[in-house]
Amino acid sequence: MLDKARTLPADQVFLDLEDAVAPLAKEAARGNVVAALREGGWDDKIRTVRVNDLSTPWTYRDVISVVEGAGEHVDCLVLPKVRDAAQVIFVDTLLTQIEKTLGLPIGGIGLELQIETARGLVEIDAIAAASPRTETLVFGPADFMASLNMPSLAVGELNPDYPGDPFHYVLMRLLVAARSHDLQAIDGPHLQIRDVAGFAASARRSAALGYDGKWVLHPDQIEAANEVYSPTPQAYDRAELILDAYEHATSEAGGATGAVMLGDEMIDEASRKLAQVIAAKGRAAGL
């Protein structure tokens, strides 16, 4: 799996020490993760490691083993089941100590925080603000459903017994917290790995809100993820057109106008901001 992951067109990899690793295998997994990071071959993928959550006995040694063993090859740690800001501050402080000891750049290792419990969602604003290392908030639908006692085993899926999207509130709440702290917002995994259409449908719901991406658990999900979170060529072209038209209209040559017509649509500064979002995603996707 590790060898294959190096070759896949995913933007990021995370090597797991948490729920994909059985308790009896936790110690050996640390060594495997360190070896995989040191071997390299990850090209320009963002390299992250998910440590165990702070209610377990494993977290501190996960952080120390991984960062002492391969700190210069780690871009971010993923902290699961974050309950409050104090947990984030603890990991931030521990990282700073290890970075100082090893002579690594202070603050160089970022944090991705999984929001996947009722408590984490209640504390989300303080969690998002807790550390300058934090880059991303990640929704964890499986643990979140368990935390809420949601009576369904179909992780992240719509439920025919509920007339709406049962995840709308949490997705929107997480997105607002992320954006208010200039963080990325990432949707969580889709466990039915053979159901690529279901994955894509779930991805489209969070992409429509403004999410930046979604975890993939299997190579088959990658193409759909890359497609869903990139704008269509039509949307991208329209966004670039709006940016050009607005730049011209507001320039001296265009009469320094704040609001102009582009076809049947009035565009103004807010249109420019919206277009900028789509254009940036399109440029990043190489459109």
Contact between 142 and ligand GLV (CB under 6 A)? yes
Place of tokens 């277009």: 275
How far apart are alpha carbons 23 and 234 in whole angstroms?
49
Side chain identity, residue 17: L
Contact between 143 and Mg ion (CB under 5 A)? yes
How far apart are alpha carbons 5 and 41 in whole angstroms?
10
Q: Give the residue, chosen from 71, 120, 140, 231, that forms a contact with ligand GLV under the rule CB under 6 A.
A: 140
Residue placing its CB nearer to Mg ion in the complex, 20 or 266: 20
20-27 CB contacts, 8 Å cutoff, 24+ apart: 26/52, 26/58
How far apart are alpha carbons 63 and 67 in whole angstroms?
6
Q: Pick from ligand GLV, Mg ion, none: which does 135 bind, CB < 5 to 8 A by kind?
A: none
CB of 116 to ligand GLV, least distance (A): 5
Number of residues that bind ligand GLV (CB under 6 A): 9
> Are the C-beta atoms of residues 187 and 203 closer than 8 Å to each other?
yes
Site string for ligand GLV, 104-123 (x = CB under 6 A): ----------x-x-------
Residue placing its CB nearer to Mg ion in the complex, 62 or 143: 143
Q: Give the residue, chosen from 71, 120, 188, 198, that forms a contact with ligand GLV under the rule CB under 6 A.
A: 188
Angle 31-35-41 (CA atoms, 0-180°, nearest 5)? Answer: 150
**Which stretches of the chain bind ligand GLV, using CB under 6 A?**
80, 114, 116, 140-143, 188-189
**Which stretches of the chain bind Mg ion, using CB under 5 A?**
116, 140, 143
